[in-house]
Amino acid sequence: MEVIIPKSVGFCHGVKKTLLLADKVIKDSKDLGIPCYCIGKLIHNPKVVSAFKEKGLNLISSVEEIHKDIKSALVLISAHGCANSVKKTITERGFEFTDGSCVNIRRTQKKILDALKHNRAVIVLGIEGHSETVTLMGTSEDDMNVFLVYDDISLKNVIQKIPDSKSVTVVCQTTFPPSLFEKYSSEIKLAIKDTEIVDSICNICIKRMNSYKKFASETDAVMVIGSKNSENTKNMASFLSDFNSNVYLIEDVSDLSDSNVKNELSRFKKVLLCSGTSTPLDEVLTVSDNLILV
């Protein structure tokens, strides 16, 4: 089997930076003899996350999980960021934090703060409960003027709630599905006269998807490696399915050991192998080595 691997697979710059910071936090905590924690999942890749846990990084979902007797600790904020109130709690507990959130998410947060400062309401287009959506919604304490839209019903409700006279700024989660972003922004623009649309979808994801579509249409199958919880991985699989009818989403090489998957793959002569932005290049190469043998 021939395997095509585009140049841009592997970690994006946001994930690379977060992991470098994680290594630094672990090293500093060892030097200082104090524990270190990461608020949130660090990144969407279970193997990478468990490697960091083994190195000494404790994963927590809230500051309250740090035992009250611990007076000194280093806290890393994960790639998806966290609400402002969480940063406040970390500081109130007397802990030092390192912000590992991606610059793209911080840019969207700045847009939210600017809009609120100018008395505009903010609509966040995001997946309900996703950690980045929680971060964006919690950017400011002025949360009365920040509204979440995640589906058609919430869109209708939010439009009804915003007074006619109010100006609105629309931002979105970096991995929000582009087709939904277009649909919801157009509907908001039609309903609210003074609407500013900020396209905050991650450019890296869009560039990767667009550069893969030619390969996808020229191969027998497409395999996307990434976590099933990762929005950019799911978006990529869904986008590429418009160009190839055999798109598979796998978490890692262990998914290839299933004999049904092997049988299915043996039909193909040429496969495009690509990844979500939290998948290490090593994992892509390992899957490639195994595919060549199918």
Site string for ligand SF4, 243-262 (x = CB under 6 A): --------------------
Closest CA to 56 of 32, 36, 79: 36
Residue 172 found at the interface with ligand SF4 (CB under 6 A): no
Q: Which of 3, 5, 10, 14 binds ligand SF4 (CB under 6 A)?
A: 14
Position of tokens 């199958």?
Answer: 221
Residue 15 found at the interface with ligand SF4 (CB under 6 A): yes
Residue 49 found at the interface with ligand SF4 (CB under 6 A): no
Residue 12 found at the interface with ligand SF4 (CB under 6 A): yes
**Interface segment toward ligand SF4; rule CB under 6 A; list 137-145, 160-168, 197-205, 238-246:** 197-205
Q: Look up residue 43 and give its DSSP letter.
A: S
Shortest gap between Cβ of 14 and ligand SF4 (angstroms)? 3
Site string for ligand SF4, 261-290 (x = CB under 6 A): ----------------x-------------
Q: Which of 174, 230, 275, 288 binds ligand SF4 (CB under 6 A)?
A: 174
**Residue 107 CB contacts under 8 Å (≥ 6 apart), including other chains:** 200
Residue 134 found at the interface with ligand SF4 (CB under 6 A): no
C-alpha neighbours within 13 Å on the C-beta side of residue 286: 15
Q: Which of 127, 158, 162, 202 binds ligand SF4 (CB under 6 A)?
A: 202
The residue type of 105 is: I
**Interface segment toward ligand SF4; rule CB under 6 A; list 7-15, 57-65, 244-252, 264-272:** 7-15
Shortest gap between Cβ of 290 and ligand SF4 (angstroms)? 26
How far is the C-alpha of 15 from the C-alpha of 18, rounded, in Å? Answer: 5
Report phi then psi at 27, rounded to 5.
-65, -50
Site string for ligand SF4, 211-250 (x = CB under 6 A): ---------------------x------------------
DSSP SS3 for 126 = coil
How far is the C-alpha of 282 from the C-alpha of 1, rounded, in Å? Answer: 19
User: Alpha helix (H) ranges present in the chain?
Assistant: 13-32, 46-55, 84-92, 103-117, 131-137, 152-161, 178-191, 203-218, 231-240, 259-265, 281-292
The residue type of 62 is: S
For ligand SF4, the binding residues (CB under 6 A) are 12-15, 79, 102, 104-105, 174, 202, 204-205, 232, 277
